[in-house]
C-alpha cells in the first residue's frame, strides 16, 4: 500500500482515537482503534509493514496525546512486530485466532505503554490499571477484531489487485 494513502489513513485513525473514542467509553474503557488497525494489518501483511504502520500511527497518537512522546510509537512498534510474526498462521485461520492475538497484543501494548510512562517519572497504578482498564480493553478489542480484520482484509485484497494490474 502506498505511503500516500497510509499516512492520511493512520492520522485519521489517530484523530478518531483521541477525539471520538473516549466519548464511546463504557465504564472508562473504549476501543483502541489505532491498535486494532495496526495489529490487524500486521497479521495481514507481516512485521515489516506492520511496524511501518505502527510507527506512523504511533507518531500521530503521540502528537495528539499528553503522554510522554514516543510511548505510543514504541508500544505500537513492539506489538506490530510480535503480531506480524503470526502472519502466515492467522491469515489462514478464522476469526478466533486474530481475536486471541488482539487480546494478547492489547495487554502487551498497554503494559509497555505504562512502563514507558513509569520510566519517564510519572506514577503508575499498575494493578488498578491492569484490572480496571487493560483487561477490559483487551476483551473489547478482541470482540471488535473481526470487524476491523474483515475491513482491512478487503482493503488489502482491493489494493493487491490494483498493484498487480499496475
Per-residue pLDDT of 26-49, as tens digits, reads 888 999 999 999 999 999 888 999
**What's the confidence (pLDDT) of residue 26?**
87
Q: Which residue is listed with cell 483502541?
A: 32
| CB atoms inside a 10 Å sphere around CB 66 | 7
- Which of 11-20, 45-54, 92-101, 128-137 shows the lowest mean pLDDT across its residues? 92-101
> What pLDDT shows up at residue 165?
40
Residue, of 105 and 155, whose pLDDT is higher: 105
Q: Say how many residues make up the chain.
A: 166
Q: What is the CATH number of domain 3-165?
A: 1.10.1760
Whole-number percent of the chain with pLDDT over 90 = 70
Nearest to 80 by CA among 106, 118, 60: 106
Q: DSSP E strands: which ranges in the chain?
A: none
**pLDDT in the model for residue 112:** 96
What's the chain's average pLDDT? 89
What does the domain layout of the chain look like in residue ranges? 3-165
pTM: 0.89
What would the pLDDT profile of 58-109 be if each residue is shown by its tens digit? 999 999 988 899 999 999 999 999 998 877 666 556 668 899 999 999 999 9
Question: Would the pLDDT of 5 be above 70?
Answer: yes
CA 34 to chain centre: 4
Among the listed residues 14, 21, 80, the one whose alpha carbon sits nearest the alpha carbon of residue 53 = 80
Provide the sign of the torsion angle of the four alpha carbons 112, 116, 121, 123, taken in this order: negative
Of the candidates 61, 92, 63, the one whose C-alpha atom is nearest the C-alpha of residue 77 is: 61
Residue 51 CA neighbour count, 13 Å, CB half: 10
Amino acid at each position: 500500500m502506498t505511503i500516500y494513502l497510509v499516512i492520511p489513513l493512520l492520522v485519521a485513525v489517530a484523530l478518531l482515537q483521541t477525539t471520538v473514542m473516549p466519548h464511546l467509553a463504557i465504564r472508562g474503557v473504549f476501543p483502541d482503534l489505532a491498535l486494532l488497525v495496526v495489529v490487524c494489518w500486521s497479521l495481514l501483511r507481516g512485521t515489516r509493514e506492520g511496524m511501518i504502520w505502527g510507527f506512523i500511527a504511533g507518531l500521530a497518537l503521540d502528537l495528539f496525546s499528553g503522554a510522554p512522546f514516543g510511548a505510543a510509537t514504541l508500544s505500537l512498534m513492539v506489538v506490530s512486530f510480535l503480531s506480524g510474526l503470526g502472519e502466515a498462521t492467522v491469515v489462514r485461520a478464522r476469526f478466533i485466532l486474530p481475536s486471541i492475538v488482539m487480546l494478547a497484543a492489547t495487554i502487551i501494548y498497554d503494559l509497555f505503554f505504562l512502563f514507558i510512562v513509569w520510566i519517564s517519572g510519572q506514577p503508575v497504578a499498575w494493578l488498578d490499571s491492569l484490572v480496571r482498564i487493560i483487561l477490559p480493553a483487551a476483551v473489547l478489542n478482541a470482540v471488535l477484531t473481526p470487524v476491523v480484520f474483515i475491513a482491512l482484509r478487503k482493503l488489502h485484497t482491493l489494493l493487491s489487485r490494483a498493484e498487480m494490474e499496475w
